[in-house]
């Protein structure tokens, strides 16, 4: 991995539509942006923060989330997530994450990711099928 400093930032944006509502994703019954969709967008923003610093064969996996979903977003509105790298501890990365719709902040929290070597990680995971 190339050197990365704290305060690096990444973003990700999604349009709220019928496929990412709470009703569609099974996380509720309303046609509003689902919490799991917001979390996935926050993770994507953290991945985007690190993407330019990874060497070939490297990737990161999510290991921890502490998220609050504080405001609902209707269908036909855009949501943007931002991740700011706050700590690097060896191969572990900690982010402050926030999400915003066109009216303001809708979510916040912390997210951790861990650097892994894709081929080795995948092989070890699929060994579970042989047990």
Q: Is residue 33 part of a domain?
A: yes
- Which pTM was predicted? 0.95
Report d(CA 44, CA 80) in Å as an integer. 10
Q: Is residue 61 part of a domain?
A: yes
Q: Is residue 3 part of a domain?
A: no
18 pLDDT band, cuts 50/70/90, is: very high
Q: Is residue 19 part of a domain?
A: yes
Report d(CA 94, CA 111) in Å as an integer. 6
CATH number assigned to the domain comprising residue 116: 3.10.129.10
pLDDT over 90 (residue 131):
no
Q: Considering the candidates 21, 60, 69, 94, report the single residue annotated as catalytic.
A: 69
- Domain containing residue 63: 9-130
Give the chain's mean pLDDT. Answer: 97
Question: How many separate domains does the chain show?
Answer: 1
Residue range 69-110, pLDDT digits in tens: 999 999 999 999 999 999 999 999 999 999 999 999 999 999
- Residue 96 a catalytic site member: no
Q: Is residue 4 part of a domain?
A: no
Burial class (CB in 10 A: 0-12, 13-18, 19+), 90: exposed
Q: Considering the candidates 3, 11, 19, 35, report the single residue annotated as catalytic.
A: 35
Q: Is residue 1 part of a domain?
A: no
- Residue 111 a catalytic site member: no
């Amino acid at each position: 991995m190339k050197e990365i400093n704290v305060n690096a930032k990444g973003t990700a944006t999604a349009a709220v539509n019928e496929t990412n509502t709470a009703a569609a994703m099974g996380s509720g019954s309303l046609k509003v942006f689902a919490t799991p969709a917001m979390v996935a967008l926050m993770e994507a923003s953290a991945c985007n923060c690190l993407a330019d610093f990874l060497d070939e064969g490297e990737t990161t996996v999510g290991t921890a989330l502490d998220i609050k979903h504080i405001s609902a977003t209707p269908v036909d509105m855009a949501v943007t997530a931002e991740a700011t790298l706050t700590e690097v501890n060896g191969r572990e990365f900690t982010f402050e994450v926030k999400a915003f719709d066109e009216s303001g902040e809708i979510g916040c929290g912390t997210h951790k990711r861990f650097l892994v070597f894709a081929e080795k990680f995948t092989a070890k995971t699929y060994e579970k099928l042989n047990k």
